[in-house]
Structures are given as structure tokens and as C-alpha cells.
A and B are shown apart, each in its own frame.
Chain A
């Protein structure tokens, strides 16, 4: 799960990382009253998960509550990189003397968390990594944890005095606690800013949570924003399906993530366009199959549906039952191509045949068939 800036700052504050006071607003009126309660100069920031918010006009200063109202109204009308702005963060504005970059990310290859720190803050770190990699300090965190001396050694040379070094060290230690105890796969502060009076602050927050750890973080649920999810995504999450919507017109239901990706690739290879990634997982629950079909038929672009099932733990007869039930509940108009092989394949074919359906055994053949069907529908 990717957190919004205001959510990430909430997490940071919990671990003692200094952030400026602020609150999230969904309407210009709310923005006005938050600005009034903060007092003085505030910054209004679009809460969308996209880089380059400032360039897109999604970050503005406001001197008065009324100005905050106007700026929030403008920003809430924006769409940034395809994402409509539904909320803004209204926060106390800070003067900035210098900007740094600080993050911790899980390094898959080295199998350890990696600190990245740079005195070139406030910009796209990937660009810095590309153009001036020597400006990024990298430090893997040892298994036993981040000791203060190590944290200090990472930031030490970049700050002009001991006081700021001390603050930055404390922030890095807190960021490490947030990263581990918070089960993050990325925790990024960009910029980590120094004010003219020498305070070190987290002015932005980018946090990616490890979804697998949700079972021990009951509080994550309140960060999930229903408005950010399509109804299909919500249903998929509730039913334990992995679903990613794409732009094509061939819906696919597959068991297993690798096979699901390979199915999409094969559709593309044969000249079609997949409408989604959907993995019904390893279990053989007919209910998951009906949910999957509901999700896909809910996508208006879909012109044909492909089932690609390689039965292992997944039993083909369960999938067949799911398809038949779904068709009974709400018959849909788009053509259906079914490929089944593996566990209980024969039984599945009988169930399908009894309901006027048939299935092929070859994946290549099924993909070519579904593309042809989709084209017939379009023509």
C-alpha cells in the first residue's frame, strides 16, 4: 500500500520525526478553517501519489484563510498525471535554507535495508542517481539494527554544525524505527529541510507499506482510501484476488501470478490487448470465480473473457462450477473462452458441457480464440 503524504507524516510523527503541523482537507471550506487554526503562512499540497506535484500546480502558498480557500479550490479541481486530486494537505509553511534527501528502502539483492542520503534534496533522486551518483551516500543497515554512530556517520559531513548533525541523526534513527516497526518497504523524506533558524524537518513523506504485514497493523485500515479504489479493485481485495486493471478489451481470469502475466503477454503477442491482470490464487473456491467474473464484466471495455486455469491445488471442477453459477446469477453478453487442464479436468468438462459450454486444453489456442471472438464483437 502506498501512503499519501499526510498519512506518511502521521506515521513519521508517531516515531518522533519532526513534521510541521497540518491537516488534510477534502473541500475548500475545510482548507480555510484548517488554515485559520494554524495561522500565518500555510502551504496547500495536492494529495495524489505522483511525483512532480509542484510543477503540475498542485502545491501553493496561502497567506490568509481566504487565500487558502481559493488555492485549495483550484488544486482540488486538478488532475495530476491522470489522478484526480481529492484531498489537499494544509500545513504550516516553512522557510527553507537547505534541502536534503533521506530514505530507507529494502535492498532485495543485498537482503538488508539501505539508507540513501544526499545533500541534493528536493529533486528527483532517481535523476541524481543517474547524473551524479557520487552525490548519494548509501549505507546498508546491519542485521543487528542501526546504531547511533552509524547513523551519525551517514549524515555527519553534510551539515554545517553539530546541532544540525545531531537532529539529522535522530531523524535517521527514528526513520529506521518507523521503517522496521512500521513494516515499510520504502520510507522517504524529500526534502529533509533545514530552516534558517537551524531546525531540521521532514517536509514531505513517501511511504510504501509491506502489504503482507497488514495482519499485525490493525491501524492500516484507516489509511485505505475507498475513493482511491475502483469498485473492481475493492471487490478483488475483499475476496483475496490480485487484480490490476489495464486498458485493453480482453478480460482474463488466471490461477497463479506468473501464468497470469504470461497470459497477458501471450494475448499481446498474438495481437490482442489484455483488459486486466487477475490471479484467483491457489485455492479452489467457486465464490472467487464468480467474484472474478463480476469484476471483469464490470469493466465496460471488455469484449471477450478468457479463463486460463492450470489445475494444481486449484481444482478445475470448482472453477467450472464457479463459471456456471456466475452465468446463472447474471448472464453476460460477452463471449467466453475457457482453457482448463490439470486436477479434475474431466469432471470440469462434464459440468461445462451440461451447461452448453466447452473448454480447450491449449493455452496458445485459447488465446487465439479469445482474440478472434473479441474482434467479432468489435466488428
Chain B
């Protein structure tokens, strides 16, 4: 299993004829992702690495029954691309583009939210902007995460960063710790999918056994995540916070990575995780070891709990573990059950073949 993307994801590339769009289309196709269409206004009818190009997302969806989109459109036009993808009815919209004005992101975010309606974790979902995207090892890659550093396994990875994620994922892979899905949520002040959303999805994913969370200075998303983990996440989480040496008041590359008014420091965030019982790696290379320990403990616990559980005796219910870990609240349960419906894998099964024919006949 995985979160948000898998081998049934049918992807559109917005901005496919651009330098980055074309390059990464090739990479995504090579990885085995079903890239069913590209969109660049005015370039409909062309092909990029074998992928047919359409003038609009609506046309591309009509022709290919795509269910997800990745955006490489330049910053001044990227928010419009999110609006277009939302209106075309896509379930997952991943915006790689960096440098969107917050005002533009905000309008696009609320558009996605309005379309989603009451279902807190339903569709559509926006990931990013200013993010590396997602990869489900061995199944699909949406964005720019390098395919060769990942391998299938039990670890969910969520991060605000790009290359730091590669660094840590490679270290996990080298250590034999594969991943369910790696998701880069982006370093902008306003993003479509936050730590809590990703944690909820990983918690509900049966194959994810442990979670790596990589945050950075600025804002309070890490503190919120720590609070959420304490109350709603049973799977072990290991955290890292970049920017322990960052000076206040300076934007550290990412638009959101700034300590302002004395808040948003790495120290505060690390303390919040520790207070929530989440082990914090001081340096990236500590992460694989902490994850390996957490996995070992979880598996040992499960092994010892399994026979008792099978009997379902009152004694089993009063083991220290069940006492210590509170069950999810009704709200968390709702989020978790909503998230199970969320993988961008709609009725693709029955339409895969016809859609492919439509594409060829075009």
C-alpha cells in the first residue's frame, strides 16, 4: 500500500513542453508512472517523450480519464494551473513550481477546499506548491524526487524539504529501510497538504509501520504536528528539524523558513516533539538508526501482543501498551476513514483500456 499515488495513478503534466516539465516527464515515464497526457495551451497535438499534449486540462481529462496532475508551470501562471486542474475535476494536484506569491496560493488553496466540500480529507487534494512531489517506490513518481534512491518498504516519509529528503531517504535505503511513500509537502508559508494531513494518511495506511517527519524553522506546523501525533498517531514517528543554527529574521531559502518575532525556532519545534514523546534526530544520519529501533520495538510489541489479542481476553486489554496509547478520537477516526477513500485510484480499472484507445486515436 501507499498514500495518494500508486500504479493506478493516471497523471497529467501541466507545463509539459517547458524545460523542467519535459525533463521530468521523461523521468516519471521511465520510473513506470502512467503519464497519460500533458497540457500546454497552444501546443495541443504535439507529443513529449511519447505523451500526447492537449491545450487544456479539461480536454486532457476528457480524452484520458486522468485523475492526478503535476504542475511545472512558471510561477506567474502556476496558481491558474491549480485552478484549472481543480475545475477539471482531478483528485490530486501536485504543484512543483517554486515562487508563487502567497496571495495566489491562498486563492487556489481555498478553491480546492471549496470543491472538496465537507469531506475534510477528501478530493481534490493539493500538494505544494514549492515541493518535490511524491514517490511510491516501485509504483509511481509524481514530481522530481529521484527514483534511484527509494525502495519499497514500511517507512512513510513526510518533509518540507527537497534535497534533505533525498539525503535521508538514501540513508534509509542504504540501511535497508524501504519506504511506502515519500511526500514533500513544500517550504512555502501556505501549502495544500500539511504534516497533519500526511500523518493521518500514513496512520491509516496498513503498510506504513513507522514515519519520518522532517520539518524546518518558521511557522508552527511542527508544533501542531507534535500535538497531533501525541493524540492521534499510534505508529512510531521520528522527527528532524532543519535550521538549528539559522539566525532570526532571515529567510533561509524557502519562503516559509524564517524565524520571526522570536518564534518558529528549531529549538521550540524539537522541544514540542520531545514533549509529545517523538524521538528527535539531532543530525540527519541519526534518523535511520532511530527508525530501525522504532520498527524493532513495534514489531516485538506486536509479536508479544498478537497471541493475547487473538484470545481477546480482558487481560490482554489491560496490557501497559493499550493503557498508554489512547485510541483515536471520533474526529481522528473520521479523518482516517476519509483518508482511506483518498488514493487517486478511482474507477480506473474498468476504463484503462478504452482510455488508451482514445488517446491513440487522437
Contact B161 A257 (CB under 8 A): yes
Contact B242 A265 (CB under 8 A): yes
B279 within 8 A of A: no
B273 within 8 A of A: no
Minimum C-beta distance from A103 to chain B (A) = 12
Contact B20 A258 (CB under 8 A): no
Write out the residue numbers on chain B whose beta carbons fall within 8 Å of the beta carbon of A322: none
Kindly identify which residue among A257, A269, A342 contacts B253, using a CB–CB cutoff of 8 Å.
A257
A204 within 8 A of B: no
Minimum C-beta distance from A60 to chain B (A) = 26
Cα distance A267–B261 in the bound complex, in angstroms: 26
B163 within 8 A of A: yes
Contact B243 A261 (CB under 8 A): yes
Of the candidates B20, B76, B101, B110, the one having the most CB atoms from chain A within 10 angstroms of its own CB is B101
Kindly identify which residue among A112, A126, A185 contacts B262, using a CB–CB cutoff of 8 Å.
A126
Contact A106 B102 (CB under 8 A): yes
Closest to B101 in A: A213
Identify whether the interface residues of B are mostly helix, strand, loop, or mixed. loop
Contact B110 A256 (CB under 8 A): no
A to B contact number (C-beta, < 8 Å)? 163
Minimum C-beta distance from B99 to chain A (A) = 5
Write out the residue numbers on chain A whose beta carbons fall within 8 Å of the beta carbon of B187: 257-258
Kindly identify which residue among B101, B144, B145 contacts A210, using a CB–CB cutoff of 8 Å.
B101
A109 within 8 A of B: yes
Contact A262 B167 (CB under 8 A): yes
Of the candidates A109, A261, A265, the one having the most CB atoms from chain B within 10 angstroms of its own CB is A261
User: Which candidate, A274-282, A290-298, A349-357, A370-378, is the interface stretch facing chain B?
Assistant: A274-282
Cα distance A264–B252 in the bound complex, in angstroms: 11
B128 within 8 A of A: no
Cα distance A106–B161 in the bound complex, in angstroms: 22
Top 3 nearest A-B pairs (CB, nearest first) are A258-B161, A257-B253, A256-B163
Which residues on B are within 8 Å of A, measured CB to CB?
Answer: 20, 23, 75-76, 98-103, 106-107, 109-110, 132, 144-146, 149, 159-167, 170, 187, 189-190, 214, 216-217, 219-221, 224, 240, 242-247, 250-257, 261-262, 266, 282-285
25 A–B pairs (Cβ distance < 8 Å), ordered by A: A183-B103, A185-B102, A210-B103, A211-B251, A212-B100, A212-B255, A242-B253, A244-B251, A244-B252, A254-B163, A257-B161, A257-B216, A257-B254, A258-B163, A258-B187, A259-B167, A259-B242, A261-B246, A269-B283, A282-B162, A312-B132, A312-B145, A313-B23, A343-B146, A363-B284
